[in-house]
Amino acid sequence: MKITQIRIYPFNIPLKAPITISLGTIEHARNILIEIQTDESITGWGEGSPFWMIVGETQASGLAAAEDMARLLIGQNPLDIEGCLTILTRYLPGHPTTRSAFDMALYDIAAKAAGMPLYQFLGGSKRTLVTDETIYINTPERMAEDAVRIYKNGAQAIKIKLGTTLKADIDRLYAIEKALMELGDDSRDYYKVPYRIDANQGWDYVTASAVLYQTRFIDHQFQYCEQPVRKQDLHHLAKLKSEGNVPIMADESLFDATDAIRLVREEAVDYFNIKLSKSGGIFEALNINAIGEAAGIPCMIGCMSESRLALTANAHFASARQNVRFYDLDGCFEHALDPIYGGITYNGYQITLPDTPGIGAEVDAAFLAQSERKTIA
């Protein structure tokens, strides 16, 4: 089998409202879409979501890099996934989000050629996944309203974005706790829905330690805190882990397997957050998870602002690996429209995977007809 043509699309999806984390605000999902065609009439789809403040890529830089990457893959065997990715990495190191879109499309082709859904092609089974839902940075009052809405919708975990100042973030936590406590009689005990907090590198060590200590006085389980300090500050990640107030999860400190080995060696974190758009795709995500599993570190599958196309690929990966214990696949909840056919379905927060060969998701042709494209053949 040979790759004969690759199409590259800017994949722009409007958001319901701007979303803010400690590193910045985005107003649109400006993603990258890759369509790989072969001489055996098998087409693979891949998507990357370049969160510039995390991965150092923009849609514009990714689209430019994608043209060079596409030219390198014309004529290659798409079933040689490692070989294709090695070509891309050697020519253009970095650009993990752009590379992840090609990686995803290659796995889509390989699983379709094998006649298997992607989770089965990866050697796993179909599992029930339950995602959390994220509350983005806002006023304490607005974040409390979001928490009540998410809780009433039946969430089994609530993710809270923090990472500003000590007082502001503590005010946010207490406002959320107070609002849930005041719900009164309900079919569930509010304190049994755990919190997951994510600072996105927003704190220094002193602030992180103080905020995490305050969680002792909130009648709630805090499952973990993602990336409380700067990504290179492994010393303080390890110190926060040793303090034992809240388990620590690596996000921006973890891009690839080399980072995973470093985090294990430093005994810096309790958990790994794997995102395909951050790791460069499924191939490297498998390596990261294997290191975590060998070291006794469970993993979470996370997301940026992907459509259900990439979220479906993320879910296949998570389903195929038992060491992936947490699921944060709510990126499409913020999208104002859904341009995807097939793919994962949500029953509340429960995710069901498709059983069709490959990823099992494709992009609406009418939506693509309105988009620019670059064809490499």
Q: Which residues are catalytically annotated?
A: 161, 198, 226, 251, 275
Answer yes or no: are the C-beta atoms of 360 and 314 closer than 8 Å.
Answer: no
SS3 of 154-221: the string is: CCCCEEEECCCCHHHHHHHHHHHHHHHHCCCCCCCCHHHCCEEEECCCCCCHHHHHHHHHHHHHCCCC
Task: Please report which helix (H) or strand (E) contains residue 7, including its range.
Answer: strand 3-21
Instruction: Give the single-character DSSP code of 27.
Output: E
Alpha-carbon torsion (205, 206, 208, 212), positive or negative? positive
d(C-alpha 241, C-alpha 325), whole Å: 19
DSSP per-residue letters across 285-340: HHHHHHHHHHHT--EEE--SS--HHHHHHHHHHHHH-TTEEEE---GGGGBS---E
Cα–Cα distances in angstroms (integers) from residue 134 to residues 19, 49, 109, 363, in the given order: 10, 17, 32, 25
Closest CA to 80 of 283, 221, 295: 283
d(C-alpha 138, C-alpha 60), whole Å: 28
Do β-strands 43-48 and 24-38 pair in parallel, antiparallel, or remain unpaired?
antiparallel
d(C-alpha 97, C-alpha 366), whole Å: 25
**Site of tokens 């990495």:** 89
Alpha-carbon torsion (265, 268, 271, 274), positive or negative? negative
Answer yes or no: are the C-beta atoms of 241 and 65 closer than 8 Å.
Answer: no
Q: In what order do the strands lie in the sheet with 374-376?
A: 43-48, 24-38, 3-21, 374-376
DSSP per-residue letters across 123-161: T-----EE--EEEPS--HHHHHHHHHHHHHTT-S-EEEE
